[in-house]
Amino acid sequence: MRIYLVGFMGCGKSFSGRNLSRRLGFEFIDLDVLFENKYRINIQEFFRKYGESAFRVVEQQMLYETEYLHRVVISTGGGTPCYGDNMDWINQHGISVYLKMSPSSLYHRLSHSRKPRPLIKDYEPEALRQFIRERLALREVYYNKASVIISGENLNMNQLTETLTGLINRSSFSD
């Protein structure tokens, strides 16, 4: 069984994924960290050298490789579900969870984040607000295809764990 966490950058996929994996007794994988470890380059540097399009091709290959993993929670990059057939693929190969947050909550988190984010590194505050609103509107078309949609602002980890346990028990995905 694979659980894929999707949502905009800064919504808490990595933090929630680690917590959720402990509760379920699953392994946790952050697709961005997996990328950086495998290619020995951070994503920001990869973007600078090769561009976003090249990154998305490699990211998709790594996503497809998760098909062979079992009992795992996978935190995807914010753009992962939005390219190619990635969101449909995710839903065919596991349970997807969208950690939904408002643009204002995302702005607050991203403007105070210590983690470098290649897509927003050069934005001034108002431009960042606008970028989040516009990009989120485009990406939500994909995120809203998730099996489970839950608020990232008031994330109730007990409720999410119960919901996922029920889905796992009824799932047609076998390990």
pLDDT tens per residue across all 175 residues of the chain: 999 999 999 999 999 999 999 999 999 999 999 999 999 998 888 988 999 899 999 999 999 999 999 999 999 999 999 999 999 999 999 999 999 999 999 999 998 877 767 677 778 889 999 999 999 999 999 999 999 999 999 899 999 999 999 998 887 655 5
Main-chain dihedrals φ then ψ at residue 9, nearest 5 degrees: -55, 140
What does the pLDDT read at residue 169? 87
Structure tokens at 167: 């889905």
In the numeric block, the tokens 């349970």 are attached to: 95
What does the pLDDT read at residue 172? 62
Q: What is the pTM of this model?
A: 0.92
What kind and span of H or E run contains 75?
strand 72-75
Report how far apart, in Å, the C-alpha atoms of 15 and of each of 61, 87, 130 are: 24, 21, 25
Architecture of domain 2-169: 3-Layer(aba) Sandwich (3.40)
Structure tokens at 149: 């949609």
Query: How far is Cα 119 from Cα 100, in angstroms, rounded to an integer?
Result: 19
For CA atoms 54, 133, 77, 144, the dihedral sign is negative
- Contact between 76 and 17 under an 8 Å Cβ cutoff? The reply is no
- The domains of the chain are located at 2-169
Report how far apart, in Å, the C-alpha atoms of 52 and of each of 108, 119, 138, 149, 156 are: 24, 9, 17, 27, 33
